[in-house]
Structure 1
Amino acid sequence: MLYAKRVHKELTRCRDREECGISIALHDGDDISHLTGTIAGPTDSPYEGGTFLIDIRLPSEYPFEPPKMHFITKVWHPNISSQNGAICLDILKDQWSTALTLRTALLSLQALLSSPVPDDPQDAVVAQQYLHDYPAFVATARYWTETFAKSTSTGMEEKVQKLVEMGFLEDLVRSTLKSVDGDENMALEKLCSG
């Protein structure tokens, strides 16, 4: 059974303190088992300046089982699949503990962006580039950040404000925009349909 009280407490803490460039919101509607996490690309990394969205699904046994997470935003990283956003991180598998929270999991993902582990890759092609042609890896990671992670943050506040002025709730607007990678027209369509 999903411990809803704990999840609500975790969401409130993340909403109240958006420090370190992380936040969590309901993905769509009131379903607390499906969330969207946001992390800022760490400074002094090829991901700096990017905003990365993470799909979070909580199993019915959460917090006794780890959350299921994958990157929505495409990212070039040895421990993250460039194809489907799958993540290779021990705390999301066998090293999960009930003492960990969604916030600590997102902070761990942010740290992973700063410190790749190419010897235990999720994406072998990226890991090989990291190990054998590091300058090309950095250039590719920066390019992907510019292409995929900066477009969602550009003008996001203006989009939120416009949709809120149309009468939609801010939290719902933010989660809807995140679910459609910042596409204002698709968000409006989704908001109007349900």
Structure 2
Amino acid sequence: MVDFARVQKELQECNRDFQVSGIKVMPKGEANLAHLLGTIPGPIGTPYEGGTFKIDITLPDGYPFEPPKMKFATKVWHPNISSQSGAICLDILKDQWSPALTLKTALLSIQALLSAPEPDDPQDAVVAQQYLRDYQTFLGTARYWTEAFAMTSSLGVEEKVQKLVEMGFPEDLVRTTLENVGGDENLALEKLCST
């Protein structure tokens, strides 16, 4: 059985220093702490810089003694992440997991993986080949995917706020909710309707 008291504590720890780390974790549904959504900022100095990446997190019954199941919900071009399914090739999400690790350390490790790809142990062979054979094209493609899938323009945010306010929700609540869900309008609407 999942240790939900520990999960609650981890969520608080993670979200407490959001301003510093940029890492956030929240329940995907109001009543389900076994299915979470994490967000990590793209590391500075990489083609992922400026992007906000969503990670789908499912906690198995054996958590924290079994690793959380994590995959990218945001499309990303990286040798160790499937461009199709979002599956992540990272040892601490498999056999190197320890109950001493937390959701936050796992997300920090994924963020570090974005900074330091390991093309010799790929999850996506096509991306790994491009990384090894034509690094400049890899950088351009990774940057393009970041801009296309992991960035929201400020204009888009204002349009989303306006749309949700027109549905009858208070503007302050709309802005806070949109920020909490990484700008995902549909997720924001779900949260607003369930409060």
Q: What whole-Å deviation, never above 9, does each CA across 1:108-139 have from its counterpart, x for those lacking one?
A: 00000000000000000000000000000000
Q: What is the count of residue pairs matched by the alignment?
A: 190
Query: Aligned to 1:165, which of 170, 179, 190?
Result: 170
Contact 2:57/2:71 (8 A) holds in 1: yes
Q: Which moved more, 1:85-94 or 1:21-30?
A: 21-30
* Displacement of 1:151: 2.8
For the residues of structure 1 that align with 2:188 and 2:6, how far apart are their CA atoms? 29
Matched, 1:64 2:65: yes
Q: 1:152 to 1:72 in 2, by over 3 A?
A: farther
> 1:41, 1:110 within 8 Å by CA — same for their partners in 2?
yes
CA RMSD of aligned residues (A): 2.8
Deviation at 1:30, TM superposition (A): 2.0
1:188 aligns to what SS in structure 2? helix
Question: Which blocks of at least 5 consecutive residues in structure 2 are unaligned?
Answer: none
Bigger relative contact order, structure 1 or 2 (CA pairs below 8 A, ≥6 apart) = 1
Taking only the aligned residue pairs, the percentage that are identical comes to: 61
TM-score w.r.t. the length of structure 1 is 0.86
Partner of 1:74: 75
8 Å contact kept, 2:54–2:73: yes
Q: Which one-letter code corresponds to 1:111 in the other structure?
A: A
Change (3 A) 1:189 1:66: closer
Give the match for residue 13 of structure 2: 13
The aligned residue for residue 26 of structure 1 is 27
- CA gap of 1:51–1:72, structure 2 versus 1, over 3 A, is same
TM-aligned CA deviation for residue 21 of structure 1: 1.7
How far is 1:174 from its partner? 5.7
